[in-house]
Structure 1
Amino acid sequence: MTFEKITALLGDQAASLLEHNCSTVSKDQLLLPSPQFVDTVFGISDRNIPTLKSLGALFNTGRLAGTGYLSILPVDQGIEHSAGASFAPNPIYFDPENIVKLAIEGGCNAVATTFGALSFVARKYAHKIPLIVKLNHNELLTYPNKYDQIMFGSVRDAWNMGATAVGATIYFGSPESDRQIVEVAHAFEEAHSLGMATILWCYIRNNAFKKDGVDYHVSADLTGQANHLGVTIKADIIKQKLPENNGGFKALNMGGSSYGKLDERMYTQLASGHPIDLCRYQVLNCYNGRAGLINSGGASSGESDLKEAVTTAVINKRAGGMGLISGRKAFQRPLAEGAQLLQAIQDVYLEKQVTIA
């Protein structure tokens, strides 16, 4: 996809997104994705040599190999959203081999999915594309539905499968978050000791975060703090939803509540209302980008998926992020079309005219 095609897809947003100069946090303050990222950032960390090899494998596979950017196909929706609801638009993905085939055909750096899915295909594909085992999930069969991330297997099992990395979710802000933080911190410690990279789905969840018709689950300040907590338990890569608003701490403190801590400069000097500035605040909270920020692609909306995916990629890249992790927009369509959408996302990161703001 050419720069002209990217510009056309962005439509009325093109000038705002492609010409924006960030006057909040300077790009010079950040550790930006680059071909040398593993050497310059992780090479001076406490990650052992096998973990550096695993990180190298992630960054040197697929169409984005050698750029410092990541394009990952995540398919854990069979558990998180029910298999029927997730795969009914394209039932071939009930077979996990097709998930891996889509990631390879789409030129992805890696594929992230469940223990069960990878256990059936690991021997065939572990040496062809990095496998990321998602350790925990929220299952939706319990009645009434509950929202809690529970472990579905062991780090050792992921290692035996030949996984390059493990992934996990924490619902920061939920009543169960203390237990999840401890579980995932221990899991990431073991993963690093075995030489695997770590990716954290840094989601927040609490009904109180929806207030006065605004959903602060996607506020820059709350998601930014979730990112900061995620890097603190040694996630190498942070997965986060793209911010859509700001002021979660302020809204939840209205009426005399003493929730959290804030400084007005979070909203005036470190962020603005522009989507790239909001995303940059997320990058800032990833230790100035030492842990890469990959934003999620979101649900499939049908015909608008390509525009939405390219828009998210432009915002993430220009903010200083490390890539996209997009699933439903790709696998809820025929394989060839899904691969083309993944490659369109990658084209944004390969396009030199899409610069850091």
Structure 2
Amino acid sequence: MADSISLSPENEALLTHQCLVKKDLLHAPGPDFLDRCFVPGSRSAQVLRSLGAIYGHGRLGGTGYVSILPVDQGIEHTAGSAFGPNPMYFDPENILRLAVEGGCNAVATTFGTFGTVARKYAHKIPFLVKINHNELLTYPNKFDQIMFGSVRQAWEMGATAVGATVYFGSAESNRQITEVTAAFEEAHALGLATVLWCYTRNNAFKTTEKDFHVAADLTGQANHLGVTMGADIIKQKLPENNGGFSTLKFGKTFPAMYDSLSTDHPIDLTRYQVLNCYAGRIGLINSGGESHGATDREEAIRTAIINKRAGGQGLISGRKAFQRPFAEGVALLNAIQDVYLDGRITLA
């Protein structure tokens, strides 16, 4: 167990917030999470073993929380933009080294990365193979995710889990939902766990006043759809606002979505995301976001506190860790993990 971490005044202030949606409604993370939330369901013993490998690994092993290193930006953002700040990560082995030495539960990256070093690391850390991507060589760029390999290929590579993205709201989302749902069914048949990046993408979701791609109501609904598709863990961006449906005037709403179920406080907004993950029966992990340099540590700690106090299950943080010197990346991952090991930081 980590000692209590030192918090900035801004992050310290997050510790006193109490949510409108009471914690008693949630299935909170904990050492018995798999027994409580997965054993009663339809997942096979092989899938449970894969989930157990993830929840049992690294510095957070056995707590019910997860810390995952994701490095798919070489495809999603271009390799030069992703690894230019720290060229050592053009060599994919360093991605695996960072995840191992950083004490992560798992490492999420591409077929290309795992294909070069799988035999050396498959027994050292659970692999989460990202099977689809949005490549940026199509011009003009479009909001699409295409398969870069098969679930069977990931299984043969030693994967513990597969991950995929759906751009909910995009013109191509129906095809993506169908493809990923079928892929997750196959993954479960092979005993693999599944993680879904539940992102929203539509130019209409961004107005001159707000970017509703990070609205609690839109991202919460994306989470709800992701659980239905068979995700064992949901990855979502931290919400920054609310009222996407009501402002853009589409979808179905109810007044409680904007008054008694949430406020404009980041912990309340994130709790609404957790609520849409079937009241926390499926774990919510929030993304760490882009690197801003000197402020990265405090930003990462803030995101982790919000996620944990809301009822989330961890962070999946990449650029803040790998776009800096190796030792600093390890230290940043450890700082995130320390939030989940700190007994002062409790469910709001």
TM-score w.r.t. length of structure 2: 0.98
Match of 2:225 in 1: 229
Q: How many residues align?
A: 347
Q: Does 1:91 align with 2:87?
A: yes
Give the CA RMSD over aligned residues. Answer: 0.9
Match of 2:307 in 1: 316
Match of 2:291 in 1: 300
For residues 212 and 144 of structure 2, the distance between their equivalents in structure 1, rounded to whole angstroms, comes to 19
For residues 286 and 247 of structure 2, the distance between their equivalents in structure 1, rounded to whole angstroms, comes to 24
For residues 127 and 5 of structure 2, the distance between their equivalents in structure 1, rounded to whole angstroms, comes to 34
Match of 1:256 in 2: none
Paired amino acid for 1:219: A
**Among 62, 66, 78, the residue aligned to 1:66:** 62
- C-alpha deviation, 1:45, in angstroms: 1.0
Stretch deviating more after TM superposition (297-306 or 137-146)? 137-146
Contact 1:75/1:99 (8 A) holds in 2? yes
Contact 1:137/1:149 (8 A) holds in 2? yes
SS of the equivalent of 1:189 reads helix
Match of 1:338 in 2: 329
Match of 2:133 in 1: 137
**Among 169, 174, 180, the residue aligned to 2:170:** 174
- C-alpha deviation, 1:189, in angstroms: 0.2
**Among 250, 275, 297, the residue aligned to 1:284:** 275
Q: Does 1:326 align with 2:322?
A: no
Paired amino acid for 2:81: A
What is the correspondence of 1:135-284 to structure 2 with a 5 Å cutoff?
A: 135-253=131-249, 259-284=250-275
For residues 318 and 99 of structure 2, the distance between their equivalents in structure 1, rounded to whole angstroms, comes to 10
SS of the equivalent of 1:62 reads coil
- C-alpha deviation, 1:44, in angstroms: 1.0
Contact 1:135/1:151 (8 A) holds in 2? yes
Q: Which runs of 5+ in 1 are unaligned?
A: 254-258
Q: Does 1:56 align with 2:52?
A: yes
Contact 2:285/2:313 (8 A) holds in 1? yes
Match of 2:4 in 1: 3
For residues 136 and 321 of structure 1, the distance between their equivalents in structure 2, rounded to whole angstroms, comes to 25
SS of the equivalent of 2:258 reads helix
Match of 1:40 in 2: 36
Contact 1:211/1:251 (8 A) holds in 2? no
Deviations 1:191-242 (A, max 9, x none): 0000000000000000000113210000000000000000001100000000
Residues 228, 163 of structure 1: alpha-carbon distance in 2 compared, 3 angstrom cutoff: same
For residues 202 and 336 of structure 1, the distance between their equivalents in structure 2, rounded to whole angstroms, comes to 31
- C-alpha deviation, 1:165, in angstroms: 0.2
- C-alpha deviation, 1:39, in angstroms: 1.2
- C-alpha deviation, 1:3, in angstroms: 3.2
What is the correspondence of 1:4-23 to structure 2 with a 5 Å cutoff?
A: 5=6, 7-8=7-8, 11-15=9-13, 17-22=14-19
Stretch deviating more after TM superposition (34-43 or 290-299)? 34-43
Paired amino acid for 1:163: A
SS of the equivalent of 1:167 reads strand
For residues 46 and 325 of structure 2, the distance between their equivalents in structure 1, rounded to whole angstroms, comes to 37
For residues 119 and 53 of structure 1, the distance between their equivalents in structure 2, rounded to whole angstroms, comes to 23
Q: Does 1:126 align with 2:126?
A: no
For residues 74 and 192 of structure 2, the distance between their equivalents in structure 1, rounded to whole angstroms, comes to 24
For residues 246 and 4 of structure 2, the distance between their equivalents in structure 1, rounded to whole angstroms, comes to 39
Q: Which runs of 5+ in 2 are unaligned?
A: none
SS of the equivalent of 1:268 reads coil
Match of 1:349 in 2: 340
